Every structure is written in structure tokens, then in C-alpha cells.
Amino acid sequence: MMRFTLKKTDKRHNGNQFWQYIVIIEKAVNINYGRQSAIQKANDLNQIREWCWETYGPSCELDFWLMLDDSAVSKNDKWCWHTNFDNFKIYLRTEKEANWFKLKWL
């Protein structure tokens, strides 16, 4: 079962001046206590990221997105993702993208 939280960004989040919403991918509860849960979390991120890619077009990791200038072809203004150790997130630009996400995943 996929577990995530969709919420509005604030100053605690990188890129909050660009992204209004964040999807935080969470570990599944008590699936073999560890590795299997981490694998499921990575699979969940990949599944959501693939949907975003198909829905909004190609994007990149948040850290790279923040480095690109506005003329970069790969700078997608609808979404990007962030992975850092066990911290998996999808950033969505506006309420419009968040609502599409809700229709698909909630």
C-alpha cells in the first residue's frame, strides 16, 4: 500500500518560493521491519515520479532544478523531485498540479 502526505510548502522546504505543494513519500508500516519497507518506499517514489513525468513532462532533481537558469530546456516549471538518503519528495508548482495529483492518487 502506497503511503504519502500531500501538503503545502513553507519556509522549511527547499524551493518553497517556486513550489506550493510537496508530496512526502513515507515508508509502509511494518513490512518486514526494514529493508522491504525501504524498497517499497523507493518503488512508490518511482511510480509517482513516472506518473508526473508522463503527465507534466521530463524534470530533474530539485538541487539541479535550482541551479538551472530559466533558459534551460530541461527546467520543468510544473514539478521536480528530491531524494536525500531516506527522504523522498515530489514538488508540485501550483494547486492545479496538486489537484491532478489528488485525482490520481487519493
To the question of pTM greater than 0.85 for the whole model, the response is yes
Indicate whether 7 pLDDT > 90.
Answer: yes
Rounded CA separation 38/25 (Å): 11
Burial of 93 (0-12, 13-18, 19+ CB in 10 A): middle
Q: How many domains does the chain have?
A: 1
| Contact present, 80 and 65 (Cβ < 8 Å) | yes
Q: What is the domain range of residue 98?
A: 4-105
**Average pLDDT in the chain:** 88
Rounded CA separation 29/78 (Å): 30
The whole-number average pLDDT for the span 41-46 is 92
Indicate whether 36 pLDDT > 90.
Answer: no
Comparing CA positions, the residue from 77, 59, 75, 56 lying closest to residue 67 is: 75
